[in-house]
Structure 1
Amino acid sequence: MSNFNYAARAELFASRRYAKNNQTQYRRFNTAAEAVRFVIEDLPTAARAGSYLEVDEQRYEGGSIKELYDAEAYPLERTFA
C-alpha cells in the first residue's frame, strides 16, 4: 500500500447490517485520508464489519483501512494510537 493516494476521492459503503439501522449507507469524501479517519475514529466498531472504502477503483476493508490509518504516510493527525 505504499502507493496509496491519500489525496484521492473516496467512497464509503457501509455494511448492510449497519445500513438497516437507518445509518449512512453511502458517503463520499474529498480525500481518502478523511475517509480513513472517519472509518477508524467515527464509525462504530460494529459498523466496520462488512464496510469498505473504494479509492481509485480499489477496495479496502477492515484491516487494510487500519493499516492505512497506521501508515507513516498518513497525512492527518490521529486521535487513536
Structure 2
Amino acid sequence: MAPFDYSAAAGLYPCKTVRRTSHLRYKRFDSAAEALRFAIEDMPASMLRGSVLEVEEARFDGVQMQKFYEADAYPLSRRKN
C-alpha cells in the first residue's frame, strides 16, 4: 500500500442520519488533510462512522480517517480539546 497523500485533492461524503436529513452534503477539498480536519474537528462525531473520504480513487471509512488524522505524518495543526 502506498503512503497516504495528505496533499491530494479529496472528496468527503458525510453519512446520512436515519432520523433526520443531514444538512451536510458532499464537499470537495484542495487537500486530504483539510478534508480530514473538517471530518474530525467540525462534523458531529456521530456522522464520522458512516462517512467516506475519497482520495485519488481510493475510499476510506471513518475509522481510517481517524487513523490518518492521528498519524504523526498529518501535516496540519490539530485543534486542542
RMSD: 1.9
Equivalent residue of 2:78, what SS? Answer: coil
Consecutive unaligned residues in structure 1, runs of 5 or more:
none
Percent of aligned pairs with the same amino acid: 43
Matched residue, 1:28: 28
Deviation for aligned residue 1:80: 4.6
Which amino acid in the other structure matches residue 4 of structure 1? F
Matched residue, 2:52: 52
Matched residue, 1:16: 16
Deviation for aligned residue 1:63: 1.2
Structure 1 consecutive aligned stretches of length 4 or more whose deviation exceeds 3 Å: none
- Give the alignment of 1:42-81 within 5 angstroms: 42-80=42-80
Which amino acid in the other structure matches residue 13 of structure 1? Y
Q: Is the 8 A contact 1:41 1:80 kept in 2?
A: no
Consecutive unaligned residues in structure 2, runs of 5 or more:
none
Matched residue, 2:37: 37
Higher helix share: 1
* Alignment TM-score, normalising by the size of structure 1: 0.87
Aligned residue pairs, count: 80
Distance 1:25 1:76, change over 3 A: same
Q: Deviations over 1:14-47 (max 9, x none)?
A: 11227x5241220000000000011110010111
